[in-house]
Structure 1
């Protein structure tokens, strides 16, 4: 059995930290809370779970805070969570099994990060993150914003999932301001910084500026493939919002230069053709998406709807438009296998079923 230090950086998380710690406190051997300036009850709540609470002066650098928390860890492995993360009961069991049986030769364990969870518990995105790392490796966090752990050596891809529950919409310009302070200081951005700076610009509707920085990022030969693919998707978002369908289509096709077509990009192409009522062309791309299988070891962004129910929903619409109600029924039924309680799909199934009855 290995020992685990849980390291967290927090600020004003009184509405979520208890839920997080309740889901994990009995599975770890040490809990280290680094507070970057809370003015609410965060530290008071955390003291119900640990006495190891440390203050850290905020310096506009998430990696600095996370690296400080890691330095305080004393156990064999370090696990990190954010205050709005939760480990569900089935995943608690998997984490316990991992703790009991992990081969100590492993340097890092990835876990699935489930994001944008709907009322039925279905995530919109799944991202693999290096979540548990060996202390003796002294891995460091990199990047002032949207930080990441730089790891090496044997990596285990686990089936453990961490649920991310946002308590409120974050409209803060904090991250954007950090990047712009760095620009004003003359900091040279890494390719990854360019990508995430562009993301912040897009999030705050500075679309033309975002396009500029996404393009700069894509011109870097050393940039990570998965970020390049994601960048094509974000650029497509920008062009969509600017109603430039030609550029939107062009950048979707560009994503195919970095890897074989991904289901989310195929669905985007289907949407463009369907919007122009080019139904046969739309069917081609939705069918293509429906036949793809996600690589479970991929560290990129997994858009769950595009790889599961969405192509079938769109195919049902397309075939309905063509008057092929049998195929429309078939694909709506396939979508229902993923979302059995979706009221829209259930109503569509009844509607199409009535159409089929009227034909007989």
Structure 2
């Protein structure tokens, strides 16, 4: 391609899209339609589809391969990567796609990739509110140089091991799951445990997550403790393990253990917004309103790190602490302050039923003293009352 402004050839990188799929005839067309102008090659590895997945892939010119499923996601993904022929490899799941603005960002990235970059991480948007605003996200290594021969690690909850020069891109990948969650991953872990496998710290953590997600809180607690006691986990996994251990202990009715698990996060880093909200809730449940308010106020003051690879739940630093501050100060008798906090919460989540109920409550309670905040864009970040 020649740049019309310079007359010079535009050195656009070439990309192989590599995917593993099974029974994805409904979601795959949406995914491929949003990357067809980006990928120069589409590699689809099918692990046992019985529907129209292969036909859907062929409609986009994909190169198809079969792979016998062996309860190992990394094996399948590494096989897919081995079939790529282009300079860079992009990976997606069938229920991922790129919104229009992200397609344009990706095309610009293709045309302007800095020299020497071996991996590119992108924001992965996982949760959304009713208005489509992102509520949960993380960053993942998404585009890698093929010649580096990076490998996927782990049979389940696999990760792509990368090193060398990297780039944080403004491209976002959107995830919208269209299938019900199953116990597939839990079964894989249980088979491995029954076979006597010694789990890595990462597997201990993710096995605990699977047990927790399926309501097996006592077993999950044991694996979280084992993971944390080993002292070899990634700091972000350590923090999440503490928070999830606290949740398990709460479900088991062990309130003292809840407090200990929450505070254990402070061994690994400065307070995070989620920790502050969870500790605030612990104090609120005990009627310790001033202490609860302290932690909720800290949650909204902490800086947000958009470059972190850890999962982020925006609620903990936006509407949730403001809503809880409204509750705390209302119970403390500081109704006007509570009114302002509730209005601030509504700037972030204008349709939340609890906050709309509170708005009506404060209007009736305060009369002429009621204040309604007019919203600039919520993303701009309203000022703290």
Structures share fold, TM-score greater than 0.5: yes
Matches within 5 A, 1:105-184: 105-170=116-181, 172-184=182-194
Quote how far apart the aligned CAs of 1:359 are: 6.0
Gaps of 5+ in 2: 1-11, 371-385
Give me the whole-angstrom Cα distance separating, in 1, the residues matched to 2:25 and 2:165. Answer: 37
In the other structure, the counterpart of 2:104 is 93
TM-score by length of 1: 0.96
CA distance in 1, matches of 2:361, 2:191: 56
Could you list the per-position Cα deviations for residues 216-249 of structure 1 after superposition, in whole angstroms to 9, with x for gaps in the alignment?
1001222111111111111111112112121111
| Alignment correspondent of 1:198 | 208
The CA deviation at 1:122 is: 2.8
Q: 1:326, 1:302 → 2: CA distance?
A: 31
Q: How does 1:154-303 map to 2 (within 5 A)?
A: 154-170=165-181, 172-303=182-313
Q: Name the structure 2 match of 1:71.
A: 82
Q: Deviations over 1:155-195 (max 9, x none)?
A: 1111221111111331x222122112222333221110111
Q: Which runs of 5+ in 1 are unaligned?
A: none
- Could you tell me how far 1:51 is from its partner in structure 2? 3.4
Instruction: Write the deviation string for residues 72-119 of structure 1: whole angstroms up to 9, x where unpaired.
Output: 111111111111112111111111111110113111111111113233
State how far apart, in whole Å, the 2-side matches of 1:198 and 1:23 are: 35
In the alignment, is residue 351 of structure 1 matched against residue 361 of structure 2?
Answer: yes
Name whichever of 115-124 and 159-168 sits farther off: 115-124
Q: Which string of whole-angstrom CA distances, capped at 9 and with x for unpartnered residues, describes residues 94-152 of structure 1?
A: 11111110113111111111113233213332111001111111100000000000000
Please give the alpha-carbon distance, in whole angstroms, between the structure 2 residues aligned to 1:106 and 1:238.
42
* Alignment match of 1:315 (pick from 311, 320, 325): 325
Q: Secondary structure at the match of 1:57?
A: coil
CA distance in 2, matches of 1:256, 1:316: 27
Matched, 1:35 2:46: yes
Give how far 1:358 is off. 6.1
Distance in 2, Cα, partners of 1:199 & 1:359:
47
Give the CA deviation at 1:343.
4.4
| Cα distance in structure 2, aligned partners of 1:81 and 1:143 | 17
> In structure 2, do the counterparts of structure 1 residues 253 and 241 end up closer, same or farther at CA, with 3 Å as the change threshold?
same
Separation in 1 of the partners of 2:192 and 2:161? 21
Supply the distance in 2 between the matched residues of 1:138 and 1:11 (Cα, whole angstroms): 25
Report how far residue 46 of structure 1 moved: 1.3
- Given that residues 117 and 165 in structure 1 are in contact (C-alpha distance below 8 angstroms), is that contact kept between their aligned partners in structure 2? no
Bigger radius of gyration, 1 or 2? 2
For this pair of structures, how many residues does the alignment match?
359
Structure 1 runs of 4+ aligned residues shifted over 6 Å read none
* In 2: Cα distance, 1:298 partner to 1:70 partner: 26
For 2:23 and 2:72, the matched residues in 1 are separated by 17
Q: In the alignment, what sits opposite 1:24? A: 35
Q: 1:104 & 1:122 partners in 2: Cα distance? A: 34
Q: Normalization by structure 2: what TM-score?
A: 0.90
Match of 1:8 in 2: 19
Whether the 8 Å CA contact 2:41–2:62 is kept in 1: the answer is no
Q: Contact 2:13–2:111 (CA<8 Å) still a contact in 1? A: yes
CA contact (8 A) 2:15 2:89 kept: yes
Q: Which residue in 2 is equivalent to 1:48? A: 59
